[in-house]
Structure 1
Amino acid sequence: MSQTPAVQKNTPANTNQSGRKAIIAAASANLAIAVTKAIAWALTGASSMLAEAIHSVADTANQVVLMVGGKESHKEADEDHPFGYERARYLSGFVVAIVIFSLGGLFALYEAYDKVKSTLMGQPDELLDSQWWWVPLVVVVVSICAEGASLRTALKESAQDREAMTVLQYIRKAKAPELPVVMLEDSAAVLGLIFAFLGVGLTLLTHNPIFDGIGSAFIGILLVVVAGILSREMKSLLEGESATPESRKAIHDALVNSDGVDSVIYMKTVHLGPETILLAAKIAVDPTDSALEVARIIDNAEVAVRAAEPLVGPLFLEPDIRYGDDRIRDGEEWPQS
């Protein structure tokens, strides 16, 4: 069996940077928007504004978590973590899902419950009695523009990776968590702001504050759904996803076309992180090959694999000899991960 260290892989230089601009843009927008929403809530008591303010605070914290995870992932491999720390980026994405669910979604739902309860009990509403009733509407419009610009940055950064995929397909298939997280957050933010605008607007038009509470409820439900989608995708990555079908085919073809390799008996891949694939494969060689010839075959195969798929890091190739189809049939299909 042959192994070559992860440091030999040729990772594209801009892979980890693709989400950094989007993260910084989102964090800057969310921090500014959180302050303006909080001011609007303090002036008017609008439930939707408080829900949106907490939402923006949660989103700002999420960007910090993503950046910390990105920094952690660059730590050098050590004895306790021989394959490195790249999965820290997946963990940060999972933490973000929990933050969105708890701090964003559940708080918004509680605020909606409290507002509806107060309305049904006939308590006076601060928004309808405030001279600053117009402030939430202005804040929402400005926030939609800011969040839309942040979403546009994320979409632009992901355009090359997405190719012909839809946004939802990209979120489900992407191995790097940062851009999908930002895209989901920003999409939820824009939609949540629309709910807030409708809630506040209908409250002002009808003089019925229950619409403000309903707007908060829709924001909470939206955030819980987004958190569920995000946690499911991050959980799958943490558990260890295989390389994409395109990458697996490229690796398989590189192996079988390498000089001295008769066939691939079986092949397993797993993403250690967004930019590192671990490969373990058993290859069939000629039974008359000498040990020196087998070593040369493996070395050449390693070079061919990394040329075909630069994300391959730790690479384990085991030479073997075919003893008949019954022995190798179960593992011979290359699409296996």
Structure 2
Amino acid sequence: MPQPAQRESTIVIVAALLANLGIAVAKFIAAGITGSSAMLTEGVHSVVDSFNQVLLLWGQHRAKRPADKIHPFGYARELYFWSFVVAILIFGVGAVVSIYEGYLHVVEPEPLFDPTINYIVLAVAFALEGTSWVIAMRAFARTKGPESWWQAVRRSKDPTGFIVLFEDSAALVGLVVAGIGVWASHQFDDGRIDGIASIVIGGVLGVVAVLLAREAKGLLIGERADPAVIERVRAIVAASPGVTSVNHVRTIHTGPESVFAAISADFADDLTMGDAETLIEQIETQLKAAEPTLVSIYIRPEKRENATLVVETTPPA
């Protein structure tokens, strides 16, 4: 059964998808009637965003597959791969196409038409995008805690939340730029301004794409659990009877809500193999009760005379 956080992220993605599909149709109709480069660019932007949301939903679906012999820790990190693909699409399709389209309209400006329909579409799009943005912002704010927004993005292990938030933020900025471009083109009777607005929109998308690619790359490579989680794990192990010291606690996220932990600890010299196994089972139970995200735990007990006793705990098959 999906976790509450997963259900909420799905709602955020679906809301953004429905908004972008409706907006894309309206923008292309307006661009076809008025010949506006900025509106055409905004239409491409909405199509790219819609496709991105489909990819994120696909990534969520694929990430839910259970572990198997080839992937013993499951497929949760596949979501990170599709998040990286989304970042590439924003840059390769959204940003590059927008800049190229803007360049063509600067070199050969389109004749100007009545901009009324552009303003109507931009207002409707801003309302829909704004609604999607508010949903995404509230969902992300509930997980943010006392950290700054940028710190929360860097700490987050679920890319769906901040990707939609970044996309919607870029979309709102793009709508404002497109509106200014349409107005200025008619105000100064210069169609090149509309093309310049398109280039600016492409630049905004490029910056967002680079930021998202950077975060997705870190998740793909593998990031540790939150330092507070690591410290709680260390404290629980250190407080266990029979453990004299904790050498290290190494963690890595195998998915947004799953963590693998490898722990090395010194055990008392007089501890037998049977006692060590019992103790490790008790430690594992305590750790999973305190941190439900710990889906796999490996504990390496060591005696102080440097003889190593290895006992591993793994999730049930």
Report the CA distance between 1:27 and its aligned residue: 0.2
Deviation digits for residues 118-177 of structure 1, max 9, x if unmatched? 14xxxxx33x1x2x4211111112111111110100111122211223332222210011
Report the CA distance between 1:262 and its aligned residue: 1.6
Deviation digits for residues 43-93 of structure 1, max 9, x if unmatched? 011000010000000000000000000000111111111111001111111
Contact persistence 1:111–1:213 (CA under 8 A): yes
In the alignment, the residues of structure 1 paired with residue 201 and residue 167 of structure 2 have an alpha-carbon distance, to the nearest angstrom, of 12
Give runs of aligned pairs for residues 1-337 of structure 1, distance below 5 A.
13-119=3-109, 125-126=110-111, 128=112, 130=113, 132-323=114-305
In the alignment, the residues of structure 2 paired with residue 188 and residue 200 of structure 1 have an alpha-carbon distance, to the nearest angstrom, of 18
Which amino acid in the other structure matches residue 35 of structure 1? Answer: V
How many equivalent residue pairs? 307
Deviation digits for residues 95-116 of structure 1, max 9, x if unmatched? 1001101110000000111011
Structure 1, 259-268 or 16-25: larger mean CA deviation: 259-268
Deviation digits for residues 175-216 of structure 1, max 9, x if unmatched? 011101100000000001111011111001111111101110
SS at match of 1:299: helix
TM-score calculated relative to the size of structure 1: 0.88
4+ residue segments displaced more than 4 Å: none
SS at match of 2:8: coil
Contact persistence 1:170–1:180 (CA under 8 A): no
Report the CA distance between 1:258 and its aligned residue: 2.0
Contact persistence 1:105–1:220 (CA under 8 A): yes
SS at match of 1:165: coil
CA gap of 1:80–1:144, structure 2 versus 1, over 3 A, is: same
Contact persistence 1:258–1:304 (CA under 8 A): no
Structure 1, 158-167 or 100-109: larger mean CA deviation: 158-167
Tell me: higher relative CO, structure 1 or 2? Use CA pairs within 8 A at least 6 residues apart.
1
In the alignment, the residues of structure 2 paired with residue 156 and residue 303 of structure 1 have an alpha-carbon distance, to the nearest angstrom, of 34
In the alignment, the residues of structure 2 paired with residue 258 and residue 160 of structure 1 have an alpha-carbon distance, to the nearest angstrom, of 34
In the alignment, the residues of structure 1 paired with residue 35 and residue 151 of structure 2 have an alpha-carbon distance, to the nearest angstrom, of 39
Report the CA distance between 1:12 and its aligned residue: 8.6
SS at match of 1:19: helix
Identity of aligned residues (%): 36
Contact persistence 2:262–2:297 (CA under 8 A): yes
In the alignment, the residues of structure 2 paired with residue 183 and residue 229 of structure 1 have an alpha-carbon distance, to the nearest angstrom, of 12
Contact persistence 2:233–2:249 (CA under 8 A): no
In the alignment, the residues of structure 1 paired with residue 21 and residue 39 of structure 2 have an alpha-carbon distance, to the nearest angstrom, of 15
Contact persistence 1:18–1:158 (CA under 8 A): no
In the alignment, the residues of structure 2 paired with residue 41 and residue 216 of structure 1 have an alpha-carbon distance, to the nearest angstrom, of 12
Unpaired runs of at least 5, structure 1:
1-10, 120-124, 325-337
How well do the aligned residues superpose, as a CA RMSD in angstroms?
A: 1.5
TM-score calculated relative to the size of structure 2: 0.94
